[in-house]
Amino acid sequence: MIPYGRQAISEADIEAVVRVLRSDWLTQGPEVPAFEKTVAEYCGARHAVAANSGTSALHLACLALGVGPGDVVWTSAITFAASANCALYCGARADFVDIDPRTFNMSVDALAAKLERAEAAGELPKVVIPVHLCGQPCEMEAIHALGRKYGFRILEDASHAIGARYRGAPIGNCRYSDIAVFSFHPVKVITTGEGGMATTNDPALAKRMQLLRTHGITRDAEDMTRPPDGPWYYEQVALGFNYRMTDVHAALGSSQMRRVDEFVAARRRMAARYGDLLSGLPVQTPWQRPDAASAWHLYVIRLKLQEIGRSHRDVFEAMRKAEVGVNLHYIPVYRQPYYATLGACGDGCPEAERYYREALTLPLFPELGQERQEAVVKALRGACS
Ligand SMILES: *Cc1c(COP(=O)(O)O)cnc(C)c1O
C-alpha cells in the first residue's frame, strides 16, 4: 500500500537523536529551547513554545487566550477534530464555519455572515481558529479585519502549514493572528515523532503557555505570590499540565528543520506533476491562491461524480484495492456523534457537505517519487472508469 503521507528521516536526523540519547538531558535540556529558536526565526515570530503534540499546543493557546466556560470558539467545518476539541477542553463550546469550495478553507463570506447573525443574537465567538487546510494559507488579512470589527482573537491551526507563505511571508509569523500552532506528527511537513509548537509575538501569551505547559509551576520570583521559603522554593500559580516536549524529539525537530524548504519544494514539484498527470480525468485538482504558497501537506482532489458514474465510495474502495492508501480529510467535525450531541453547526454547512461527498486525498510525501505517482494516477483512471 502506498501511504497517503510518510516521514522522511535522514542519517543526520538519526545522529541528532542518538547524540541526545548519549547526553545528560533527555528532557528539559538545551534541545527544546534550541528548536524553539529555530522555528521562531524561520517563521519570523518573536516567541515559540514547544509542546508534546499539536493538540497540546492548541489547548495551551486556547487557555492563554482566556477561553473558558461560557465562551464560544469557531473553527472550520472541515478540519481534524483537535481544532475544535481544544475549545471543549477549556469548558467552552465549539461551532463551525462553512468552507470556501475552491480552497476548502474557512470561507470569509460565511464567517462574515455568521458573525452578523451571532452579533444580533449576542453570541459572538471569543476565538476563531482558521485552519490552513492541506497547507494552503487562509485569507488571514480578511479574517484579521473581521477580528478587529467583532472583537475576537485569532488562533491559526497551522498544523499542515509549516513552510507555507502568505503574501510573501512565512505562516507562523502571526502578523494577522495572536498565536499559530504547528503539528509535527509523522505525516506532517516536518516531524518530531509527536510534537507541536505555538508561535506568537506577544510575550505575555508566550509566558502563559510556558507556565501551563509545565503544571502551572514557576521558579521565577517575579511570578510568585509570596517571598521564597528558601532556594528550593517554587510555586504553582495555575492549574497546568505536563505538555513538555522531550529533548529527543526536539533534536529530531531541529534536524528536520534544516530540510523544511527542501521538503516543501519536493511536495510542490509532485503536486505540479499530479496536476499534469490528472488532466483529462474527471476530477477537480487543487486550486491555489495567487497570493500564497502552500506547504502541500495534503493533495486533495474532488471527484466529478456526475461524469464518473461510480460512487465516491466505489472509487475509494477501488483505490484501496489497488494498494493506494487514499484517505478522506476530513469528515465535517459537526457530523461526529460527540459534536452532534452538542448541537454544533445549527445553521448548516452546505459546502462542507458537498466537499465530504467528493473529496479524496492522494498520496503525497517527499519520497513518493514519479513512478509511484504514475501508479496512483493509473489506479485512479481505472477506478473512475
Ligand atoms: C495533526 C493535526 C492536529 C493535531 O496535531 P497532533 O500533533 O497530532 O496533536 C490539529 N489540527 C489539524 C488540522 C491537524 O491536521
pLDDT tens digits, 68-101: 999 999 999 999 999 999 999 999 999 999 999 9
The pLDDT value recorded for residue 313 is: 98
Q: What is the DSSP string of 191-240?
A: --SS-EEEEES-HHHHHHHHHHHBTTEE--GGG-SS--SSTT--EE-S--
Q: Could you give the CA distance from residue 212 to residue 218 in angstroms, rounded to a whole number?
A: 10
How does residue 347 score in pLDDT terms, banded at 50, 70 and 90?
low
Region of 231 please: left (phi>0), alpha (psi -120 to 50) or beta.
alpha
Is the distance from the beta carbon of residue 160 to the nearest atom of ligand 1 less than 6 Å? yes
Distance 158 CA to ligand 1 centre (A): 9
Say yes or no: CB of residue 93 within 6 Å of ligand 1.
no
Q: What is the pTM of this model?
A: 0.97
CB-ligand 1 contact for 161 (6 Å cutoff):
no
Residue nearest to ligand 1 atom 5, measured at CA: 54
Establish whether residue 361 lines the binding site of ligand 1, counting it when its CB lies within 6 angstroms of any ligand atom. no
Are the C-beta atoms of 111 and 132 separated by less than 8 Å?
no
In degrees, rounded to 5, the angle at the alpha carbon of residue 216 between the alpha carbons of residues 215 and 219 is: 105
- pLDDT, average across residues 153-180: 98
Mean pLDDT across the chain: 96
Q: Ligand 1 pocket test: pick from 105, 157, 187 the residue with the most ligand atoms within 8 Å of its Cβ.
A: 157
Residue % of the chain over a pLDDT of 70: 98
* DSSP reduced 3-state for 359: strand
Which H or E run contains 73? strand 72-76
Does ligand 1 come within 6 angstroms of the Cβ of 55?
yes
Ligand 1, atom 2: closest residue by C-alpha = 159
Rounded to the nearest whole angstrom, what is the distance from the C-alpha of residue 168 to the centroid of ligand 1? 25
- Show Cβ contacts of residue 177 under 8 Å, excluding neighbours closer than 6 positions: 130, 140, 144, 154, 155, 156
Neighbouring C-beta atoms of residue 384, cutoff 10 Å: 20
* Nearest protein Cα to ligand 1, atom 6: 54
270 in the Ramachandran plot: left (φ > 0), alpha (ψ -120 to 50) or beta?
Answer: alpha
Q: Is the pLDDT of residue 194 over 80?
A: yes
Please, are residues 250 and 52 in contact by the beta-carbon 8 Å criterion?
A: no
C-alpha 365/C-alpha 352 separation (Å) is 25
Residue type, 176: Y
Dist. CA 53 → ligand 1 center (Å): 8
Give me the residue label for grid cell 519570523.
Answer: 44
Q: Which of the four pLDDT bands, split at 50, 70 and 90, describes residue 348?
A: confident
Residue 340 pLDDT level (bands cut at 50, 70, 90): confident
Q: What is the tens place of the pLDDT at every residue in 269-286?
A: 999 999 999 999 999 999
- Which atom of ligand 1 lies nearest, measured to the CA of 54? 7
Compute, in angstroms, the gap from residue 372 CA to the centroid of ligand 1. Answer: 26
- The answer to whether residue 346 scores a pLDDT higher than 80 is no
Ligand 1 geometric centre to CA of 181 (Å): 9
Least confident of 35-49, 109-123, 191-205, 327-341: 327-341
Prior bond of 243 cis (ω within 30°): no
- DSSP state string for 230-274: STT--EE-S---B-PPPHHHHHHHHHHHTTHHHHHHHHHHHHHHH
Contact 146, 108 (CB under 8 A): yes
Q: Is 163 exposed, middle or buried (0-12, 13-18, 19+ CB in 10 A)?
A: buried
Q: Is 59 in the pocket of ligand 1 (CB under 6 A)?
A: no
- Which H helix or E strand runs over 360? strand 359-362
DSSP state for residue 2 in the 8-state scheme: B
What is the per-residue DSSP string for 142-181?
HHHHHHHHHT-EEEEE-TT-TT-EETTEETTS-TTSSEEE
Q: How far apart are CA 134 and CA 78, in angstroms?
A: 11
Q: Is the pLDDT of residue 263 over 80?
A: yes
Residue 11 grid coordinates: 542519517
Ligand 1 site-directed mutation target among 75, 159, 256, 297, most atoms within 8 Å of CB? 159
Verify whether ligand 1 is closer than 6 Å to residue 85 (CB atom): no
Mutate to test the pocket of ligand 1, among 60, 80, 256 (most ligand atoms within 8 A of CB): 80
Q: What is the pLDDT of residues 283-322, one digit of tens each?
A: 999 999 999 999 999 999 999 999 999 999 999 999 999 9
Q: What is the pLDDT of residue 65?
A: 98
Here the cell at position 186 is 509523522
Cβ of residue 159 lying under 6 Å from some atom of ligand 1 = yes
pLDDT at 341: 72
Which atom number of ligand 1 is nearest to the Cα of residue 79? 13
* Strand bridging mode 292-293 / 165-166: antiparallel
Among 4, 7, 55, which is best to mutate for testing ligand 1, by the most ligand atoms less than 8 A from CB?
A: 55
Q: Which atom of ligand 1 is nearest to the CA of 133?
A: 13
Neighbours of 190 (CB within 10 A): 26
pLDDT at 343 over 90: no
On the question of pLDDT at 161 being above 80, the answer is yes
Kindly indicate the confidence band of residue 344, based on its pLDDT and cuts at 50, 70 and 90.
low
Q: Are 3 and 365 in contact (CB under 8 A)?
A: yes
Residue among 146, 141, 85, 157 at smallest CA distance from 113: 146
Task: Give the DSSP letter of residue 135.
Answer: G
